[in-house]
């Protein structure tokens, strides 16, 4: 991303909104916004091998592995406003497990792009499955969307829930039910 060019565009946007980009509180805003967008869209430049960093381990474990309540933040591709919430990830290993922090890092790669929650949920599940070839993968996201809260219908308490289930989580109802029960039972 060309931060200088983005800052110039933000400066123009500030003018178009009817503000003075040279007033004291706004003088450095274009540069700050450009830096914020660089971070919030850094997923476009991530290399998955570097993100995983060899944290794939041989394992005989074939039990369900779940990390829940992972904080997620992303930008809605329709309005470029944030959506945020929780991501729950589970998988059943075939013969490899991931270092636990890598699940959150994989999520961040895709969350740090312009997104819709439906696609984000599926991308996370498919990426985990591709990396470790799990027996099954489940991802559930529960997010609040500022594009729905601050504008449009202005519904403050709405939460969007999406899921993506692959392999045994998709094909075996008891496995899917166990995953969903565990992520919700652990909330209490």
How far is residue 68's CA from residue 63's CA, in Å, rounded to a whole number?
16
How far is residue 88's CA from residue 181's CA, in Å, rounded to a whole number?
12
113-136 burial: b if 16+ Cβ within 10 Å, else e: bebebeebbbbbbebbbebbebbb
In this predicted model, what pLDDT tens digit does every residue of 14-41 receive, in sequence order?
Answer: 999 999 999 999 999 999 999 999 999 9
How far is residue 120's CA from residue 164's CA, in Å, rounded to a whole number?
9
* Confidence (pLDDT) at 62: 81
In this predicted model, what pLDDT tens digit does every residue of 39-98 receive, in sequence order?
Answer: 999 999 999 999 999 999 998 878 999 999 999 999 999 999 999 999 999 999 999 999
Q: Where are the alpha helices (DSSP H) in 79-150?
A: 100-111, 117-132, 146-149
**What's the token pair of residue 184?**
């919700």
Residue 188 has pLDDT above 80, yes or no: no
Q: Are 7 and 30 in contact (CB under 8 A)?
A: yes
* Confidence (pLDDT) at 60: 86
How far is residue 71's CA from residue 120's CA, in Å, rounded to a whole number?
14
* Confidence (pLDDT) at 61: 79
In this predicted model, what pLDDT tens digit does every residue of 135-169 receive, in sequence order?
Answer: 999 999 999 999 999 998 998 999 999 999 999 99
**CB proximity list for 90: less than 8 A, separation 6 or greater:** 64, 65, 66, 67, 137, 138, 139, 169, 179, 182, 183
Q: Phi, psi at residue 27, to the nearest 5°? A: -55, -45
Q: Which fold has domain 51-185?
A: GTP Cyclohydrolase I, domain 2 (3.30.1130)
Q: Phi, psi at residue 37, to the nearest 5°? A: -65, -35
* Confidence (pLDDT) at 186: 52
Domain boundaries, the chain: 3-40, 51-185
pTM of the model: 0.94
In this predicted model, what pLDDT tens digit does every residue of 118-141 receive, in sequence order?
Answer: 999 999 999 999 999 999 999 999
* Confidence (pLDDT) at 56: 94
């Amino acid at each position: 991303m060309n931060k200088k060019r983005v800052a110039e565009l933000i400066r123009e946007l500030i003018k178009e909104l009817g503000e003075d980009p040279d007033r004291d509180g706004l003088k450095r805003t274009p540069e700050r916004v450009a830096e914020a967008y660089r971070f919030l869209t850094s997923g476009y430049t991530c290399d998955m091998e570097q993100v995983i960093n060899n944290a794939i381990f041989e394992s005989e474990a074939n039990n369900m592995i779940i990390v829940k309540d992972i904080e997620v933040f992303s930008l809605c591709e329709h309005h470029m406003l944030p959506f945020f919430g929780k991501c729950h990830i589970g998988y059943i290993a075939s013969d490899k497990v991931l270092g636990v922090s890598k699940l959150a890092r994989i999520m961040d790669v895709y969350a740090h792009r312009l997104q819709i929650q439906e696609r984000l949920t599926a991308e996370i599940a498919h990426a985990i499955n591709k990396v470790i070839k799990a027996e099954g993968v489940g991802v559930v996201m529960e997010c609040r969307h500022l594009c729905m809260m601050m504008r449009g219908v202005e519904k403050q308490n709405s939460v969007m829930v999406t899921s993506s289930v692959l392999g045994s989580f998709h094909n075996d109802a008891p496995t899917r039910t166990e995953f969903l029960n565990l992520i919700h039972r652990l909330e209490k």
